[in-house]
């Protein structure tokens, strides 16, 4: 273990964030092998926090295991992307409809604050803007899941919706995609605040369809380069 590593609070969290950021911004490409030793040297940590960070990323779907003990940045074939977004569209549209009926005033206020935060940083002008938008986006959708008041639905979404795919493609969207997404978030919030399940479900469906179209446009080919 490197000197001072044991006393450093949150080393695993810092390693996780550093590796995740490099995957999301494209520094580490699909299929690229990740080794604990190389990452530890690059990030200045011992192998233990790096290993913990990689394990978290495997659970998120951003990293996958290869042969033996090797790990690599996860690949997302085109047909798998289509399936992921279609499952997400159906589940999230249903969640938005339920949220329009069941969301608390506090949850609606939280959705409004998150939607405005995303709009304020769109289009992003710095890596920090991208981080703020991505974090707010995850919180926005999570709040809708919770506002749907269905433990069963929440459990299904947590398994079916691949956070890694959503987060990675979000960083690759063009300015027009991000602007459309931010506007969708505001309209979804308006629909939920208006207690209109059909409106909320329809806008959420359009929101995920637009995300799917953008993801398919930027999906890498088998050689790892974009279309």
b/e string for 131-151 if b means 16 or more Cβ within 10 A? bbbbebbebbbebbbbbbbbe
pLDDT at 60 over 80: no
Q: Which of 23-37, 47-61, 84-98, 130-144 has the lowest mean pLDDT?
A: 23-37
Residue of 43, 38, 1, 37 whose CA lies nearest to 18 = 43
pLDDT score at 180: 95
Cβ atoms of residues 33 and 66 within 8 Å: yes
At 117-126, the pLDDT tens digits run 999 999 999 8
pLDDT score at 114: 98
The predicted model gives 141-151 an average pLDDT of 96
How much of the chain is in helix, strand and coil states, percent to nearest 5?
Answer: 70, 5, 25
Using CA atoms of 30, 66, 167, 226 in order, give the dihedral in degrees to the nearest 10. Answer: 20
The predicted model gives 186-191 an average pLDDT of 98
Q: How confident is the model at residue 223 (pLDDT cuts 50, 70, 90)?
A: very low
pLDDT at 79 over 80: no
* Higher per-residue pLDDT: 24 or 54: 54
pLDDT at 3 over 50: no
pLDDT score at 164: 64
pLDDT at 222 over 70: no
pLDDT score at 224: 40
Q: What is the largest CA-CA distance in the chain?
A: 58
């Amino acid at each position: 273990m490197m000197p001072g590593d044991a006393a450093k609070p949150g080393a695993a969290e810092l390693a996780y964030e550093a590796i995740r950021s490099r995957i999301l911004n494209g520094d580490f490409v699909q299929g690229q092998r990740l080794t604990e030793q190389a990452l530890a040297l690059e990030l200045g940590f011992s192998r233990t926090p790096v290993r913990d960070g990689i394990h978290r990323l495997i659970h998120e779907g951003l990293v996958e295991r290869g042969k033996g003990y090797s790990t690599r940045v996860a690949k997302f074939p085109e047909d798998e992307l289509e399936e992921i977004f279609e499952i997400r569209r159906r589940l999230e549209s249903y969640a938005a409809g339920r949220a329009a009926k069941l969301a608390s005033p506090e949850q609606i206020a939280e959705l409004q604050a998150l939607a405005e935060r995303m709009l304020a940083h769109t289009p992003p002008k710095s890596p920090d803007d991208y981080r703020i938008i991505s974090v707010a986006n995850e919180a926005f959708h999570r709040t809708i899941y919770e506002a749907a008041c269905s433990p069963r639905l929440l459990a299904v979404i947590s398994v079916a919706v691949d956070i890694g795919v959503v987060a990675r493609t979000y960083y690759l969207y063009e300015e027009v995609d991000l602007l459309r997404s931010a506007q969708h978030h505001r309209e979804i919030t308006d629909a939920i605040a208006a207690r209109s399940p059909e409106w909320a479900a329809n806008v959420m469906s359009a929101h995920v369809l637009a995300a799917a179209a953008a993801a398919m446009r930027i999906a890498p080919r088998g050689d790892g380069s974009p279309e």
